[in-house]
């Protein structure tokens, strides 16, 4: 059922259950292992972004009307919120996670990055994408959860020092690889000559004066520019650290 208004604010299952539980788990970890103010603020920022993605009008726009809004929601869930959440994990918390063999395996760079990329690409296959939108219950919640979970895995080697500390050059290369392999998806959506998601082709009413193809082009360009900006900044930071370290030796 469509929302009464494309711009309606509404808290669904994601926010009324999953997001508060995530916040409570973090508070428990803070009480047990401690943290710093910047890291606590970073995790609070992640919670805020999750609420924006899953409670604000962006949620309804993406699930009913505009591919652009849905891709922006996906970017928040798969990249921005996980980055802030991982940075919000203090060193003692990270060390506690690193005691788990499964966590050590999943955050290995040659595992974490491919898992994130495969998840991103699979959910953008047209029949999978449309299937999740037509079943806005279990499938869409699974999609959102996997975006965030794999995003946490992807950012972990770049931000945390355990279970393994990547050298600055390795982190720069990792960030560049993330951009190199993720960027084609947005560029492909921007350059395709026709709209490939029937769900949005048939969406009514058409919002913002965008045709289905124009919506897809805007979505692809926005996604590609976002990834280029965020991952370039991360890559440039670690590359500059590498140059500084080399100059100091």
Share of the chain above pLDDT 70, in %: 95
> What's residue 13's pLDDT?
63
Taking only the tens place, the pLDDT of each residue in 228-249 is: 889 889 999 999 999 988 877 6
Q: Please give the model's pTM, rounded to 2 decimal places.
A: 0.93
Share of the chain above pLDDT 90, in %: 76
Q: How large is the average pLDDT for residues 85-108?
A: 97
DSSP 8-state secondary structure symbol assigned to residue 137: T
Other C-beta atoms lying within 10 Å of the C-beta of residue 175: 24
Residue 185 has pLDDT above 90, yes or no: yes
Question: By the 8 A CB rule, do 196 and 123 touch?
Answer: no
> What's residue 1's pLDDT?
42
Alpha helices in the chain, H assignment, sequence order: 13, 19-33, 37-55, 57-64, 67-75, 81-87, 91-97, 101-106, 109-123, 126-134, 138-159, 168-191, 198-201, 212-248
């Amino acid at each position: 059922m469509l929302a009464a208004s494309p711009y309606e604010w509404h808290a669904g299952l994601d926010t009324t259950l999953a997001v508060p539980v995530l916040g409570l788990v973090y508070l428990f970890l803070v009480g047990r292992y401690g943290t710093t103010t910047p890291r606590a603020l970073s995790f609070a920022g992640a919670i805020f972004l999750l609420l924006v993605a899953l409670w604000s009008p962006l949620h309804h726009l993406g699930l009913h009307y505009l591919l652009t809004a849905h891709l922006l929601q996906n970017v928040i869930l798969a990249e921005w919120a996980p980055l802030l959440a991982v940075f919000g994990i203090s060193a003692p918390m990270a060390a506690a996670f690193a005691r788990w063999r499964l966590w050590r395996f999943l955050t290995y760079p040659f595992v974490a990055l491919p898992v994130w990329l495969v998840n991103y690409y699979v959910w953008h296959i047209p029949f999978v994408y449309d299937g999740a939108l037509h079943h806005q219950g279990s499938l869409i919640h699974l999609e959102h959860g996997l975006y965030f979970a794999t995003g946490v895995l992807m950012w972990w080697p770049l931000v945390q020092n355990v279970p393994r500390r990547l050298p600055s050059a390795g982190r720069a290369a990792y960030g560049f690889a993330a951009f190199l392999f993720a960027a084609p998806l947005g560029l492909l959506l921007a350059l395709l000559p026709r709209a490939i998601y029937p769900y949005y082709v048939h969406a009514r009413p058409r919002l913002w004066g965008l045709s289905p193809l124009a919506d897809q082009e805007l979505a692809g360009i926005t996604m590609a520019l976002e990834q280029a900006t965020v991952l370039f900044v991360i890559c440039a930071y670690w590359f500059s650290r590498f140059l500084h370290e080399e100059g100091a030796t």
